[in-house]
Amino acid sequence: MGTNKHFPDPSVVREELIQKYPTKVAKKRAKSIIINDPQIIPEVQANVRTVPGIITQRGCSYAGCKGVVLGPTRDIVNIVHGPIGCSFYAWMTRRNQTRTESLMDANYIPYCFSTDMQEENVVFGGEKKLKQAIQEAYDLFHPKSIAIFSTCPVGLIGDDVHAASKEMREKFGDCNVFGFSCEGYRGVSQSAGHHIANNGVFKHMVGRDNTPSEGKFKLNLLGEYNIGGDAFEIERIFEKAGLTLISSFSGNSTISQLENSHTADLNVIQCHRSINYMGDMMETKYGIPWMKVSFVGAESSAKSLRKIAEYFDDEELKAQVEAVIAEEMPKVKAVIDEILPRTQGKTAMLFVGGSRAHHYQDLFTELGMTTVAAGYEFAHRDDYEGRDVLPSIKIDADSKNIEELKVLPDPELYNPRKTEAELEALKEKGLEINGYSGMMQQMTKKSLVVDDLSHYESEKLIEIYKPDIFCAGIKEKYVVQKMGVPLKQLHSYDYGGPYTGFEGAVNFYKDIDRMVNNPVWKLIKAPWQKTEATNGISKGLEASYVTQ
Ligand code: CFM
């Protein structure tokens, strides 16, 4: 073991994590528990099935499709075809905010639409009920669009949501009805649902409105879902910098914006995991390049703005971006100067979704804190190791299950925004076009990277590292806090936020300061404080279901 209790030998930790598992399980889990080396970047096993019986953090394909990608667009009526539970438990739990222009504008986010499938529908089929529900939603709201989401029983009994959607679309004439085969079991996690959602939005929405958009520097913001108002802060910054946001995918978005999004000249991608498919497809069909950005962290926000200005290669824009940074940064700096002495040297662990476990490390770095271990719930190898590994990723049966759209350049609308030579020149300047280098390159040597962390492993990690803060979600929150470690929810932000951009960074610093310096945690006796520790690893704490 290392001498510092916060930084134990990662190979010992790895052994500790898997030693209680049956041999086969241990062997499998070992491939997802990696000691990082940013120079070499070892291979991580990711996007594979969770071992049955292991308590995972993951969600389902339906959650990724309906909840994540489609949920934030305010004027689509999203009907869930399935039992009511699938709707009820997905109803407004993801905090994607939206802001209508006027009180009269459509906003269906607060509603919960479900076909409320019963046993009778499972036995005799649910298509009739689905069509009735579509009709009812149409009669009540006259929305521009209705999307149908399939839950597990729908796929099992074979209801054809696409045929039902088509029939109703043709019947109405003025309402775009389309369906998603996003049954919960479609993939190994919600990641499958993202891909299915990307395909559907691309097929049924993008490119429907060819009205030329206005603005000198037009871009779409992909993979930003406006959790806790994050997109509002990015919109503020874009506006200040003179950038025109055509559409976000999909925080605070509308159907019209998505339908017109192919008129933008650049796609910037914040959450690579959930929407990289869209970036690629829009590039192929319309000639719009994409760039990875992150507006999580003040430094990252400044860097992302500079990247965008570099892409458009306009001196005025570059000057404006510098002016924005010069105006925003001092306010951020003032807060950091005050907080840093209290947060410096503390440690964090992040186990969230498919992009935040990476992005939020930047905010912790700004606070002088070290990320000792991190991982995603459902990311793929490219999110860990970088997109260079894409050709070497094995397409297993679970991935084959998800449709890959065959996309070709549009005969009329394909218009490469940059020539090959221009793209090359940008790359030479260090701009990563259509690329993402992943989380591991940024993490320190010997930090621990764990994919699809199990509940048992999270308890073990906390016991060994005793981090000053653990970042995950509501399912983990109270278990971790009962261990005497504050948990920051990085999905819902513990009802705080926004955390993006410059103002968001300040919010985050203050929230983390409050959490890691709160004396209440010292009043809780964590299990390892009740027993004697040997070599930094307590022998006293055991997950309740594991026996010696
Ligand atoms: Fe992307 Fe997201 Fe995330 Fe995600 Fe999610 Fe989310 Fe997330 Mo929860 S799209 S991968 S599927 S950044 S809902 S807004 S916080 S797990 S890290």
Q: Give the SS3 label for residue 114.
A: strand
What is the pLDDT, as a whole number, of residue 538? 53
CB 60 within 8 A of CB 193: yes
120-124, 270-274, 521-525: least confidently modelled range? 521-525
Q: Could you tell me the pLDDT band of residue 542, with boundaries at 50, 70 and 90?
A: low
Higher-confidence position of 540 and 404: 404
Strand partners, 449: 34, 374
Mean of pLDDT over the chain? 95
170-174, 397-401, 487-491, 506-510: least confidently modelled range? 397-401
Residue 383 has pLDDT above 50, yes or no: yes
Q: Could you tell me the pLDDT band of residue 539, with boundaries at 50, 70 and 90?
A: low
Atom of ligand 1 nearest to the CA of 225: 14
**Distance (Å, rounded) from C-alpha 192 to C-alpha 399?**
8
Q: Could you tell me the pLDDT band of residue 7, with boundaries at 50, 70 and 90?
A: confident
Spacing, Cα 150 to ligand 1 middle (Å): 20
96 lines ligand 1 (CB under 6 A): no
Tokens 């891909």: give the residue: 195
Mean pLDDT value across residues 475-496: 96
What is the pLDDT, as a whole number, of residue 531? 60
Instruction: Tell me which residue has its CA closest to atom 9 in ligand 1.
Output: 274
Spatial CB neighbours of 530, under 8 Å, sequence gap ≥ 6: 540
129 lines ligand 1 (CB under 6 A): no
What is the pLDDT, as a whole number, of residue 525? 77
Q: Give the SS3 label for residue 499.
A: coil
Residue 303 has pLDDT above 60, yes or no: yes
Atom of ligand 1 nearest to the CA of 491: 15
Q: Could you tell me the pLDDT band of residue 307, with boundaries at 50, 70 and 90?
A: very high
Query: Vertex 197, ends 216 and 290: CA angle to 5°?
Result: 35
Atom of ligand 1 nearest to the CA of 271: 1
68 lines ligand 1 (CB under 6 A): yes
Instruction: Tell me which residue has its CA closest to atom 17 in ligand 1.
Output: 353
What is the pLDDT, as a whole number, of residue 524? 81
Mean pLDDT value across residues 457-461: 97
**Distance (Å, rounded) from C-alpha 230 to C-alpha 53?**
36
Residue 260 has pLDDT above 60, yes or no: yes
Mean pLDDT value across residues 122-131: 97
Active site residues: 60, 63, 94, 194
pLDDT digits (tens, 9 = 90+) for 153-183: 999 999 999 999 999 999 999 999 999 999 9
Q: Could you tell me the pLDDT band of residue 58, with boundaries at 50, 70 and 90?
A: very high
